[in-house]
Amino acid sequence: MRLYAILAAITLGCALPAQAEKLVLAHGYAPSHNVLVHGIVPWMACVRDGTQNAYDFDHFPSGQISGHTQSVSSLNSGLADLSVIVVAYSSDKVPMNGIPLLPGMGTTSVEMVGAYRRALSQDGILAGEYAAIDTVPLLVSILPAYQVFSTIGPIDTLEKFAGFKVRVSGGSPTFMAQSLGAIPIEINATDMYIALQRKTVDGTFLTMSSAKPYAIHELVNAVSTNGSFGSGSSVLAMDRGKFEALPPEHRQVFVDCGLEAEMATAEYVDAENAAVQAEFVTLGIDAFAYPDDVLEVLAARMSQVTSEYIGRLTDRGLPAAEALQEYQNARAD
């Protein structure tokens, strides 16, 4: 009977319902992470709607098949069609894209996401790093400026950074910690809670809005509120071959949905930062602000981070100084 129904539909000139093309999305973010909840999930919904359900997603969060450190390889191998490249964990692949994460490159997510997107839209050096690894950046996220979370009380002077064992993700945060006299220990975000619990580290640099998804508020007893310790970024990227195989009108939907979702996420995390800070105070966490004189001392120490970072990349033969200028120009636009 089913065959007769199909033949009848064809005879009548009726189009059979098209089956959505499945795209595999794999990443290391937990289901509760802001970038996932307020960025990637709405992006998927936007793509479905904008393409009349031409696509659906087999979604694997929490590192089920590919975590933060395997994102690029999962795309290049065909394991995933889309993945989240956390720049700090892929500094060997996109080192110059660590420049926007350096101390002093911005304070709010809206400010920094806007500048990063303008830089990538120029198809210059920063965008070229993603093209070189056969990926297309669709949705960018840069968190508000990192604060220092501590399990051993407020790290409220330069002197208290000396010997402070701090969890970092790698890349420029490592140099920043060293410039302050701290001891950087590179640990994946998914292992951060255990590292703090076991006292492998004394604290971490993290944005307020990212602390709760990792539950570190259960372990820390102090956090700065007005520091500028760099930031973290991630990029929802698609395999370039897969992207270019899409019909042109669908490629535009994928891009437009990314632009919409990334700014919505930025606005959300900026607003949440203030709310989370107030909540931490109610939990008994010492939320302290650096006085101006201490901020000046810290800024002076961290000013060397940019020059050191650019110098190391230049020594590798990379056009790092030009990439820095590219990003600074985007910030000024």
What DSSP string runs through 184-205?
EEE--GGGHHHHHHTTS-SEEE
Q: pTM above 0.85?
A: no
Write 306-312 long-range contacts (CB < 8 A, 24+). Answer: 306/102, 306/103, 306/104, 308/175, 308/179, 309/98, 309/99, 309/102, 309/172, 309/175, 310/99
Helix H or strand E encompassing 138: strand 135-142
Spatial contact of 192 and 30, defined as CB atoms under 8 Å apart: no
* Structure confidence at residue 265 (pLDDT): 96
Domain 18-97+109-143+233-272: give its CATH code.
Answer: 3.40.190.170
Q: What is the dihedral of CA 62, 65, 70, 74, to 10 degrees?
A: -130
Domain 147-230+273-332 has CATH 3.30.300.10: no
247 Cα distance to chain centroid: 28
* Structure confidence at residue 254 (pLDDT): 99
Q: Is 2 helix (H, G, I), strand (E, B) or coil?
A: helix
The H helix count followed by the E strand count for the chain is 14, 11
Do the two domains 18-97+109-143+233-272 and 147-230+273-332 of this chain adopt the same fold?
yes
* Structure confidence at residue 104 (pLDDT): 82
Q: What are phi and psi of 139, to 5 degrees?
A: -145, 120
Q: Average pLDDT per run of 10 along the chain, which is 333 residues long?
A: 38 54 97 93 98 98 95 98 95 94 89 98 97 99 95 98 94 87 94 98 92 93 94 96 98 99 96 93 97 94 91 97 97 92
Spatial contact of 295 and 226, defined as CB atoms under 8 Å apart: yes
CB within 8 Å of 143: residues ≥ 6 apart: 109, 207, 209, 210, 231, 232, 233, 269
CB within 8 Å of 261: residues ≥ 6 apart: 38, 39, 40, 42, 43, 46, 139
SS3 annotation, 228-242: CCCCCEEEEEEEHHH
Report the C-alpha gap between 238 and 254 in whole angstroms.
10
* Structure confidence at residue 12 (pLDDT): 39
* Structure confidence at residue 330 (pLDDT): 97
> What DSSP string describes 81-128?
SEEEEEGGGGTTTSGGGGGGGSTTS-SSHHHHHHHHHHHHHTTSHHHH
* Structure confidence at residue 3 (pLDDT): 36
* Structure confidence at residue 14 (pLDDT): 43
Amino acid at 118: R
Report the C-alpha gap between 83 and 73 in whole angstroms.
10
* Structure confidence at residue 111 (pLDDT): 95
Report the C-alpha gap between 182 and 164 in whole angstroms.
5
Q: What is the DSSP letter of 39?
A: I
Helix H or strand E encompassing 287: strand 286-288
Ordered by start, the domain boundaries in the chain are 18-97+109-143+233-272, 147-230+273-332
